[in-house]
Structure 1
Amino acid sequence: MSTAREGAPASWEVFLRARRGLAHQHVGSVRAAGPDAALAAARDLYTRRGEPLSLWVVRSDALHTASPDERDPYFAGARHKPYRYPEHYAPLTEKGPEGEHHE
């Protein structure tokens, strides 16, 4: 993998998991020559408060992403599949005009 400029430190994306059960969150970026240096820089910059459970760094050029501008197929709803939406289903029981239950 090459960097933007030959000899320049690579850009690394930083992901942090603050508490047990929570997903990792993207918290920012650092520049570093390698993964160990990137972890050290990320620790110094992003873990000042609290004690995170986990810290990840991923080279920016190794990420494959989809932009919200690319609505289909990543972000568009599935309106052609109405069974995925709760409004597609009728309630199991409804009260009639005199209070009896209908199914």
Structure 2
Amino acid sequence: MSRIGTMSNATWEVFVRMRRGMSHQHVGSVRGIDSDTALAHARDLFTRRDDPASLWVVPSDAIRAASPAEKPMVFSNAQDRPFRYPDDYVPLHEGDGHA
């Protein structure tokens, strides 16, 4: 039996994707003893009015988020990628032959 299947009344985060091509959005949390129970609770709570393309439940303790204190460490590599910043781009103007 998996670790997830042995959790007693664990908290599960719920993500819904309303249509194909869209991103999943976090819509809330449910409690359940296993993933099937959590999925049933999520369906009852978060899909009453709509018919989503997909519904995910993820154990809360499986989610790792960066805290504000970790921002320099987590996002520091963005400074090493100059293509992310428009410093070296030349603006296009009408009449200069670039249109």
> Which structure has the larger Rg over C-alpha atoms?
1
CA distance in 1, matches of 2:60, 2:82: 37
Q: Residues 102, 20 of structure 1: CA spacing in aligned structure 2 closer, same or farther, 3 A cutoff?
A: closer
Question: Secondary structure of the residue that 2:21 maps to in structure 1?
Answer: coil
Q: TM-score, normalised by structure 1?
A: 0.72
What is the 5 A alignment of 1:1-103?
Answer: 1=3, 8-75=8-75, 78-91=78-91, 101=96
Cα distance, 1:27 vs. partner?
Answer: 0.5
Identity of aligned residues (%): 53
Aligned length: 94
**What is the letter of the counterpart of residue 21 of structure 1?**
G
CA distance in 2, matches of 1:56, 1:87: 40
CA distance in 2, matches of 1:14, 1:20: 17
Q: TM-score, normalised by structure 2?
A: 0.75
Contact 1:68 1:75 in 2 (8 A): no
> Structure 2: where are the runs of 5+ without partners?
none
Cα distance, 1:49 vs. partner?
Answer: 1.6
Higher relative contact order (CA 8 A, sep 6+): 2
Cα distance, 1:84 vs. partner?
Answer: 1.8
CA distance in 1, matches of 2:75, 2:36: 35
Normalized per residue, the structure richer in helix is: 2
Aligned CA RMSD, in angstroms, stands at 2.7
> Structure 1: where are the runs of 5+ without partners?
none
1:25-75, Cα deviation, whole Å (9 max, x unpaired): 111000101111000000011001210010000111112222244212334
